[in-house]
Structures are given as C-alpha cells and as structure tokens.
Amino acid sequence: MAKSIDVSDVNIYYGDFKAVEDVSMTIKAKSVTAFIGPSGCGKSTFLRTLNRMHEVIPGARVEGKIVVDGQSLYDPAVDPVEVRRRIGMVFQRPNPFPTMSIYDNVLAGNRLNSKRISRSEADAIVERSLRGANLWNEVKDRLGKPGMGLSGGQQQRLCIARAIAVEPEVLLMDEPCSALDPISTAAIEDLIHELKSDYTIVIVTHNMQQAARVSDDTGFFNLKAAGKPGHLVEFNPTKQMFTNPDNADTEAYISGRFG
C-alpha cells in the first residue's frame, strides 16, 4: 500500500560538508511529487535519503526526521535493506543486469530478499510486474533473452518492473527519462500516471514540461550561494508552482531566467 512521507528539518552531510539543509515537506500517498532546480542544488542527494541510498557513500549522514507511516526511517532499529525494499529506486540511466535475462532481471530483487520462490510464484511475479510496467506484451515471447537487448525505453521500463516486483510502497525516480528519446519519454510519463494509483512516486527532473505534466506537487531546490548548501525554496501544488509561485526565484527558474 502506498504511504505518505513526512520530512522534518532534514540536513544532509558528506563528512563535514553540509550538502542540503533544513528540508521539511509532506509527500502525499498515491501522488507524484517532482523535485526541480539547477544542477548541484541537492535534489538527487535529498531523493537518495528517502530510502537511505546515500549511505553507500562513506561519511554520509542525515540529521532530522523522515517518517513513513509513523516509522522513522533512521531509527537505529530500522534495517536499511528493508527500507530500500519498501522504497524502490529507478536511476537516471537504465541499468538492467547485463548477464541476466529479462525474466531474471525482474526477479532479481525478490531472489535477494527471499530464500526461495517456486516457479509458479516466479512466473506470476514476472507477468504482474511486466504488465505493471506496460512491457508484458512487448517481451512475453522472449523472456529468456538478455535484458540488455531491449531498447533504451524498454530497458527503463524493465528496471521499473524490477523495482515494483518486490511490491514497494514508494517509487523514487532520479531523472528517469534523461537518457531517452521523446517517444520513450512519453511512454514512461504515461506509466508514471498509471502507477500512482498504487504507489507514492517521487521524481527528480530537469525537464520543466515533464514536471508540469506528471506531478501533483513540486519542490524547487536551489543554492543560497556558490559553495553553500542546497535548500528547499518552495513546495506547493504543481499548478500553483507553474502559474503563481510564492517565491520570485521559483518563477525565475521556471521561466528560464537562470539554471
């Protein structure tokens, strides 16, 4: 079941360097939230804190609270591996496992998380996940072929199928269309619209039109000054952000005057 995410006073560090400061927001369940802003302002860094992916970088740490369904993700008793199962991630470039078939790519997370899956269970998961990613009809007759043999847009949908196969509550997407052509981008955007009925989705994008098309709420990140931490300038419904933003810097960025 999709969950909301409550973020309170979050600061993100890499060693002594504060990369992002003082972020607070509520990400609604079964919605699409977009993060926009110039390069280097902390959007992707913040996104990765939502499922503790940033912790793979030595010295990375978070202050503040991120709460999903009443549970703090950074409570010492919480297993980060379980957090990453509940909150899936799709990266900027499609990354199917190169030595695996389409079938095995979809099941990779399940096999990592489960001791044993029967063949009938595996078949059901693969079909459900590929249908969920709008890819089943295109690949159902070649499930044993390498995932890397698909087109770029199909590979990205395969990665989305792999993410939803473990039945997460939240899907994070870090610029999921930046490496794709316009037709593949449109397919991913249509899929995002369909998936939000079952998942809470958070995307980072540099494409203003994409943010306007797919998201319900938008957060604008920016740097206070060169060398300073990134921060959340404004977080509001997308329609308001793109027609009547609260902050002059938001309007300047969206209209292309900087960034």
The answer to whether position 259 is within a domain reads no
- Rounded to whole angstroms, the Cα distance separating 240 from 7 reads 21
Share of residues in the chain with pLDDT > 70 (%): 99
**Residue 199: domain span:** 5-254
Residue 2 has pLDDT above 90, yes or no: no
- pLDDT score recorded for residue 34: 98
Average pLDDT over residues 22-27: 97
- pLDDT score recorded for residue 259: 61
- Interacting residues of 8 by C-beta distance below 8 A, sequence separation 6+: 24, 64, 65, 66, 67
The answer to whether position 193 is within a domain reads yes
122-146 pLDDT, tens per residue? 999 999 999 999 999 999 999 999 9
H or E stretch including 256? none
The answer to whether position 191 is within a domain reads yes
Q: The tokens of 157 are what?
A: 């949908």
* pTM score, whole prediction: 0.92
148-164 pLDDT, tens per residue? 999 999 999 999 999 99
The answer to whether position 47 is within a domain reads yes
- Rounded to whole angstroms, the Cα distance separating 254 from 259 reads 9
Other beta carbons less than 10 A from residue 172's beta carbon: 25
The answer to whether position 144 is within a domain reads yes
Question: Of 92, 3, 82, 10, nearest to 44 (Cα)?
Answer: 92
197-253 pLDDT, tens per residue? 999 999 999 999 999 999 999 999 999 878 889 999 999 999 999 999 999 999 999
- Structural domains in the chain (count): 1
Q: Where residue 18 sits, what CATH number does that domain have?
A: 3.40.50.300
Average pLDDT over residues 20-32: 97
- pLDDT score recorded for residue 115: 66
